[in-house]
Chain A
Amino acid sequence: ETGVTQTPRHLVMGMTNKKSLKCEQHLGHNAMYWYKQSAKKPLELMFVYSLEERVENNSVPSRFSPECPNSSHLFLHLHTLQPEDSALYLCASSQVVWGYETQYFGPGTRLLVL
């Protein structure tokens, strides 16, 4: 239904594992985002790739590492996560025009860290 897809949809990992989340947008947008959504908290912006420029939220731990090889693909590499990192990870994309944009979200990856 949406032009933003995410895989996997569900992921269970141990604290010593390394995994990657993938996002792909088919909308021709020029910006992509990673968000974290924890229970009863607002969406937290983690990373932005806009016009090939990376903007970070400095509060995001280094165990999260983004990669944006092109304007259509975005990855979030995970390593040595903690149980409190369990959350819904949402990817979004937008077309930024004159500073104005509307974001479209993927279905999310529900992550459980044991």
Chain B
Amino acid sequence: RKEVEQDPGPFNVPEGATVAFNCTYSNSASQSFFWYRQDCRKEPKLLMSVYSSGNEDGRFTAQLNRASQYISLLIRDSKLSDSATYLCVVTHMDTGRRALTFGSGTRLQVQP
């Protein structure tokens, strides 16, 4: 089983739609969780951290479910500019050192 799993998509949605991505992780000792966004042929950029209580940033809402070991990202009122690949990132301690694991990403295509 992969350490971090994401549905690769693509998710094709019309402008204005609400879309949700899930990400599951296998290490129950994982400590920190993030969503990154990567545009085609560009570097990943931090979208938002994911906190236990859930957090919202404008049209984006991230939630963490430790019991089920998944995090989610909800995008409301999708814009064309939201088209990108969304990467789930999970950190944990591995033999005393931090380890970051990236998911393969979920591709979103917002269509006019």
Interface residues of A (CB under 8 A from B): 2, 40-43, 45, 48, 50, 55, 90, 96, 99-108, 110
Would you call B1 an interface residue if the criterion is a C-beta within 8 Å of the partner chain's C-beta atoms?
A: no
Count of chain B residues near A, Cβ 8 A: 23
Interface status of B46 (Cβ within 8 A of chain A): yes
Contact residues in B for A108 (Cβ distance below 8 Å) = 42-43
Q: Considering only CB atoms, which chain B residue lies closest to A43 in the complex?
A: B102
**Dominant SS at the B interface?**
strand
Contact, CB under 8 Å: B46 / A104: yes
Q: CB of B4 within 8 A of chain A?
A: yes
Q: Which chain A positions have C-beta within 8 A of B4?
A: 42
A107 pairs with B102, CB closer than 8 A: no
Chain B residues within CB distance 8 Å of chain A: 4, 31-32, 34, 41-46, 49, 87, 91, 93, 97-105
When C-beta atoms are compared, the residue in chain A nearest to B2 turns out to be A42
Question: Are B105's CB and A99's CB within 8 A?
Answer: no
28 contacts between A and B (CB under 8 A): A2-B43, A2-B45, A40-B104, A42-B4, A42-B87, A42-B102, A42-B104, A42-B105, A43-B44, A43-B87, A43-B102, A45-B99, A55-B97, A90-B43, A96-B98, A99-B31, A100-B31, A101-B91, A102-B34, A102-B46, A103-B46, A103-B100, A105-B44, A105-B45, A107-B43, A108-B42, A108-B43, A110-B41
